[in-house]
Amino acid sequence: MALIARQIDGKQVPYDHNFCLAAERGSKHSVALARSINSGVTMEVRTTEPGVQFYAGVYLDVPVPGLEGRVYGPFAGFCLETQVWPDAINHADFPKAVLHPGEVLRQETDYVFSKS
């Protein structure tokens, strides 16, 4: 377990990392869990994909006010994007990233929210 709001030398860590979880797509299983220590809301990510990209919103700069007029800037959110590994198209031993005509791709990802 690690805090997203982690700092090193007084600066927020600008997470933008891919986690390679499996050598190929497989059955759907849990790959990530995020929990707010303030609200108690939990998000679990379940997927068939072999990787997940974690981005901590370092470049967020939304010019339109959001909820209650708030302006959302850097680190105001995060993403967990399920996918194959980066640069997979250039590596034969990475999970398959090319879909040819007539082939079918079946990928499933669930974002499951709960509150304790």
- pLDDT tens readout for residues 54-105: 998 888 888 888 889 988 888 888 999 999 999 999 999 999 999 999 999 9
In a domain, 7, yes or no: no
Distance CA 78, CA 57 (A): 5
- pLDDT tens readout for residues 11-51: 877 888 999 999 999 999 999 999 998 899 999 999 999 99
Question: Taking the model in full, what pTM does it have?
Answer: 0.83
88 DSSP assignment: G
Structurally, the chain folds into a number of domains equal to 1
b/e per residue, 13-32, with b = 16+ CB within 10 A?
A: bebeebeebeeebeeeeebb
In a domain, 1, yes or no: no
Neighbours of 95 (CB within 10 A): 19
Whether the predicted pLDDT of 1 surpasses 70: no
Neighbours of 94 (CB within 10 A): 18
In a domain, 47, yes or no: yes
Whole-Å CA distances, 84 to 37, 73, 74, 97, 103: 30, 29, 26, 6, 17
**Dihedrals φ, ψ of 36, to 5°?**
-85, 125
pLDDT of residue 116: 84
Domain that holds residue 88: 13-115
In a domain, 3, yes or no: no
Q: How far apart are the first and last CA of the chain?
A: 18
In a domain, 8, yes or no: no
In a domain, 4, yes or no: no
